[in-house]
Copies of this chain bind each other. A is one copy, B any other.
Amino acid sequence: MCSIGLNVPPGLTITTEACAQYTNNGGKFPEGLWEEILLGLQVVESEMGCKFGDPTNPLLLSVRSGAAISMPGMMDTILNLGLNDDSMKTIAARSGDRFALDAYRRFLDMFGDVVFGIKHALFEAEIQAVKETKGVKHDVELVSVELEEVVERYKQVYKRAGLTFPQDPYHQLKVATKAVFDSWQSPRARKYRSLQGISGLAGTAVNIQAMVFGNYDDKSSSGVCFTRNPSTGEAKFYGEYLPNAQGEDVVAGIRSPLPILELENMLPEAYKDLVHNCQLLEQHYKDMQDIEFTVQSGQLYMLQCRSGKRTGQAALKIAVDMVDERLIDIPRAIMAVEARHLDQLLHPQFEDEKADSYQSAVRGRGLPASPGAAVGQVVFTAARAEDFKVAGKPCILVRTETSPEDVGGLHVAEGVLTARGGMTSHAAVVARGWGKPCVAGCNELWVDEANHTAKLNEHHVLLKEGDWISINGTTGEVLVGKQPLTAARLTGDLGRFMEWVDQHRRLRVFTNADTPKDALAARRNGAEGIGLVRTEHMFFTSEDRIAAVRRMIVAQDTNARKEALQLILPFQRSDFEGIFKAMDGLPVTIRLLDPPLHEFLPEGDVAQISNALAATSPGVSSADIAATIAHLVEVNPMLGFRGCRLGITYPEITEMQVRAIFEAALNIAAEHTNKDNTIVPHPDIMIPLVGTPEELINQVSLVRKVANDVMEEHGGESVEYRVGTMIEVPRAALVADKIAQHADFFSFGTNDLTQMTFGYSRDDAGKFLPQYLSQSILEADPFEILDQQGVGQLIKMATERGRSTKPGLKVGICGEHGGEPSSVKFFHKVGLDYVSCSPFRVPIARLAAAQAAVEEKMTEDG
C-alpha cells in the first residue's frame, strides 16, 4: 500500500520471507511470528477502538495475499474474520441483523473454502435453495430471517463434511494466515506462475487489515477501478462497483457490477474522493493503477493499489500519452511496454470488419473485455482446450464464467467467450494479462455445460464442440465461422514508439529468412540484415529441386554428385539473387548446408523409394540406392553426419553453394549498375557445426578459393564478403580464441548449443521436460528462454575468448532465442553485436534490446 495520506484501514503485513520460512519449515510458523502478529493487532485495535476476539466489541479482519505480482483469483482472501456466534450477535445488536448475518454467511463460505477446502459450490447451492424458496433473485434481496437460515445451512455444510467451524477468533486467524501462505504453493498458483514465466519469488506476503464493510448499508459499496482504460489505454477513469456488496462480489462475476461513473450519482462525495485519490496514485507511481476500494456508509476506504494489468493496445497508448503529458520520459515509456504487449499489437486483425461477410456473421455481442481477433473451434472445458492444443487445433474457450481452475485452458485457447461477468471478471483480467482476445458477459449466450453445447439464443445458433467461431475482443462481437485475418501494421502510436526504441538500443536486430518474401516482411518490421539464411529450405520449394537434391544424395561417386549439384546450382543462384535484391545494402548471412542428408529423402518404404529415385538417377541401380539409404540412417542424427562435416567430406557441395552465392551477387550487382538503381549485395558466409579451428580453416579456404574463381570469371568484378562460423557445438565455445583467428564473425546457434550443452534432444525432451518444469527442476524450457547459467556461460566465454584473439570480432546469435525478450537482454549484457530472429519477432527483439540498454543506463546512473 502507498502512504500518501489516503484513508486506508489500519493493518499489518507479514513479509514474503516469513512465508518462505514457513514453507521450508514444513508448514510451521517461523519462531516469533505469531507474537509479532499479536503485537501488530494491538496497534490496529487501538486505532479502531475495538478488540479482536472480544465478543462485546469485536474487531473484524480481512486476511489476504499481498503477493508482489497480481495473480487474479489465484491467491486466497478471507473477509470478516473474527466473527463467531457471539460477536455476530453483538454486531447485529449494533448494526442490524441483516448486515451481521450477511457478513457471517460470507465468512463461513470463504473460511470453509479457503481453510478447509470445502467447495464454494456447496455453499452456493444452499443460498440458491433459500433464494428459490423465497422467490428472490439476488443475495441483497434476502432478509434477516432468510439469511439466518443461510447461516444455519452453511454450518450444516461444515458438519456434512465432518468438520466443525472454529469459534475461536485467534484460531481462525492462525489457520487463515497459514491458508494464505499455503495458497502460494497451490498447484493452480504454480501453474499460473509457470505459464507467466514468473520465478525467483520466495512466497507471498500476507496483509491482515481491519475490515471495512461495503455491505454495511445502502450508502456502502465495493469496487475495482483503473486510472485509465486497461483495455484501450484511453485516459479515462474506468471501473465497476456493486452497491451493498463486499469486494469479492465484484470480481466473482455473480452479480453484474455497475459502471464506476454511476457511483457519482449514488455517492458523490465518495466518488470525488476516489477520483482524487486515483489521480494522486497515478502521479505517484507514474503508471496506470488498478485500485480496490470500499465505501462504508459514505466514507471511502482505499484497500489496494498496484500497477494495472493491461492489453498491448492499452500499454502502448498509456506509454505514449504519458510521455505527451510529460508524466514520464521516453526511457521510462520504453520500459512500460512489455514484449508481450508488443506481441499482442502485432497479432493478426480481422481483414475487414465492414465487409458484408463479416457483418452478416455476427450472432452475438458481449463486453469488449480484451481486444484482438480470435478464430477457433469451440470447446467448453479447460481440459478439452488443452487436448485441442496438443492436437494442433486452435480453439475458443466458451464458458458461463471462468474460475482460477481454468488457467491452463485459458492459456492455450485463442480467445475466451463468457456468458457472465464484467470487464473485471476473472476471464477478462486473465485474458487481458495474456493479451488474449476476450468477449465477456455475452448475455445472449447460454452455455449448457453438462451437455457440452451452447446457444446464442436470439439468433437460434446451437454451438457444439469443434464448431468454428470468431470473436472480436475489441468490439465484443461474436461471429460464426472462420473470419479471415490479416497482419498488423507498425504505424501511428506504434510507429512513433518504435522510433524511440530504435534510438535507445545498441544491439542490431537481424532476421532469419529463407525467401525474398520473408526478407521483405522482416525489413518492413525493421530488420537490419539477415542473420540466417538456411540454404536447405530452398531445396523443398519445388518438385524438380528436391529431385535434384535426392539425385545428389544417392550419387555413387564424386562425379555423379557433381553432376547432380550442377542441377541444383541454378535454383540456389536465383534464390540468392532474390534475397540480395530484397536486402540491398544490408548483410545477408548464409549458412551452408547443415542438416543430415537423410532429411531430404522421402519417408516410407525403402524399396519403393529406391525404385523411384533410380528412375530419375541415370546409371544408378535401385539396389545401390537402397544401400545408400541404409548407410545414411543414423542412430543420433543430431550428432551425426551434418553441418560442415558434409562440406569437408564432400567439398563439391560447399563449392556449388559458394559458387551460387557469388554468381548471384555478381549478377544482381551487374543488372543494377546505373546510378539511380544500384543494388549492393553483402554476403556473409557461415560455416555450420564447427567444433575445431581445423574444420573452419578447411572450409574458409575453400570458400575463398571459389569466391576468387567466380570473381575472376566475372572479369575481376568484386563483392565484399565475410566468412564466419556458427558457434553451436560446446567445444567451439571452449576453443573460441583459436577459432576466431580464422573467422570474420561468430553467430551462436543457440538451439543446437542448448541441445548439446544440456544433452537434450529437442525431438525427445517431451518425455521428461514437462515433468522437469512441473517439479521446478528447470525454471523454464531452455529452448524457449535461454539458459543463462549454462548455455549463457558458454556464449559469454566464447565472445570474450573470440575477441581476445580478434578484437572487434562481430558476434551475433541466430537461434530461436534471438526473439525472446529476456534472452535478448542477456545478449545485450554479454556484448553481442546483433540478434537474429524470425521476421514477426523483429519488433519484439528491437524493444527488448532497447529495454536492455535503458536498464543498463539506469544501473549506471544508480
Contact = CB atoms under 8 A, between A and B. Distances in A.
A694 B777 CA distance: 5
Interface in A790-804: 790-791, 793-794
A777 B734 contact: no
Interface in A719-755: 728-731, 734-735, 752, 755
Contacts of A775: 648, 698
Interface string A158-197: 0000000000000000000000000000000000000000
A758 interface: yes
A69 interface: no
Contacts of A542: none
A600 interface: no
A634 interface: yes
A638 B637 contact: no
Interface size class of A (residues with CB under 8 A): 35 or more
A790 B735 contact: yes
A219 interface: no
Interface string A649-678: 100000000000000000000000000000
B635 A790 contact: no
Contacts of A761: 634-640
A679 interface: no
Which among A735, A772, A794 has the greatest number of chain B C-beta atoms within 10 A? A772
A728 B764 CA distance: 19
A789 interface: yes
Interface in A691-727: 691-692, 694-695, 698
Contacts of A757: 729-731, 734, 756
Interface in A750-776: 752, 755-761, 763-765, 767-768, 771-772, 775-776
Contacts of A692: 777-778, 790
Interface string A470-495: 00000000000000000000000000
B764 A641 contact: yes
Given A641-B768, A778-B692, A791 B731 contact: yes
Contacts of A131: none
Interface string A58-84: 000000000000000000000000000
A447 interface: no
B759 A639 contact: yes
Contact of A636 (B639, B735, B771): B639
Interface of A: 634-641, 643, 645, 648-649, 689, 691-692, 694-695, 698, 728-731, 734-735, 752, 755-761, 763-765, 767-768, 771-772, 775-778, 787, 789-791, 793-794
30 contacts: A634-B767, A635-B764, A636-B636, A636-B764, A637-B761, A638-B759, A639-B639, A640-B761, A641-B764, A641-B767, A641-B768, A643-B759, A645-B767, A649-B771, A689-B759, A691-B758, A692-B777, A694-B776, A728-B759, A729-B758, A730-B757, A730-B759, A730-B790, A731-B757, A731-B758, A731-B759, A734-B790, A735-B793, A756-B757, A756-B759
